[in-house]
Amino acid sequence: MTPISVLVLSSSPAHRARISQLLAGLPDLDVVALTGNVSEAFMAAEAREPHLVIVSDEFRDLTEFSAMKSLFYVLNARWIFVAGGGGRPVHQVPGSGGRLVDEPVLDLAMAPQQALAAIRVALTITRNMTQNAPPPRRMEPKTAFERMVVIGSSTGGVDALMTVLSEYPEDCPPTAIVQHTGKGFSDSLIRLLERRCKPQVVAAQDGLVLKQGMVCIAAGTAGHLTVTPGQTLRCELRPGPPVSGHVPSVDALFQSVVPIAPRVVGVILTGMGQDGAAGLLDLRRGGSFTIGQDEATSVVYGMPRAAWEMGAVQMRLPINRIGGEILKASLALSSQPRSASSLVAR
């Protein structure tokens, strides 16, 4: 029987040692990494592709942990929380349902035999869930897209971006993205999206020429991603104070392409706050086609709500329809814009 590989994430060395000691009593199990922070755990998970991740519940509400959850989906891995002090209720892992379990199944205040029993339940339903998704099929024909795409996202945005970009062909329209996330996560996010997407996914950098077939992402960068229009689309990372409360800022990206608004598709996805709403409105007024994620599929309906209420959004859609609509709009530069009232997904 293939051993189940397990990764442990806890900031406490004592807790890591305690979990490791408990796991040592179980057969057919391989602890591949003991990690102390989300960034370290992300890199270890990428490298070792564990079947099960045991996570201290101190990380539950961190924004950075959303990227970890997205990686678990890609790896087809199960994850469980572990409580540290006995103050939270302990829930058994359900025998059916999805791959993710978002309630504690283990409390370190338990007696050893109780803790082992809880771990065994999680391991039992982790078996036979080790197959990764096949690599995406590459598309050969080239399509002459007439528009570039700018996208802004925040809380819940990693999953949303994976859903949108999974619709992209290899020769997608040139796309620039700002994703609010913690510092140091840009490279990890790039690698995560590369696993799932057909186009080339690259980190934002000064002087990068944004071409068809390329997705450029700024996440946790020290400057604002902007795109300088011309015969070529050239990316810049511009130092400066926060815009709409953020560096990098969605508004800064959107504002940079207002001079070529008719050749732009602007998209705002799930996120907290209002970053991107004013910039999207300027894009729409300039002739861009604009899309906003709907409330039902948003993890946080803050940024898309602000844009919708401001009148910046032409088409409001569930996340699973946005990728296809971006592609249609990118081809349709010469078509007449439809009325805003007809573009709301019912």
Determine whether 28 is an active site residue.
no
DSSP three-state, residue 104: strand
Enter the tokens of residue 146. 């007439």
Catalytic position from the list 15, 51, 180, 224: 180
- Other C-beta atoms lying within 10 Å of the C-beta of residue 302: 18
CA separation for the pair 145, 104 (Å, rounded): 47
| 335 in catalytic set | no
User: Which residue is catalytic, options 57, 251, 275, 294?
Assistant: 275
Distance CA 196, CA 167 (A): 10
Q: What is the DSSP secondary-structure string of 118-132?
A: HHHHHHHTTTT--PP
- The reply to whether 294 belongs to the active site is no
Give the span between the Cα atoms of 307 and 119, in whole angstroms.
45
Residue count of the chain = 346
In DSSP notation, 136-177 reads PPPP-S------EEEEEE-TTHHHHHHHHHTT--TTPPPEEE
Specify the 3-state DSSP secondary structure of 7.
Answer: strand
Check residue 271 and report its DSSP letter: B
Kindly name the residue from 154, 188, 244, 288 that is annotated as catalytic.
154
Looking at the annotation, which residues are catalytic? 154, 180, 275
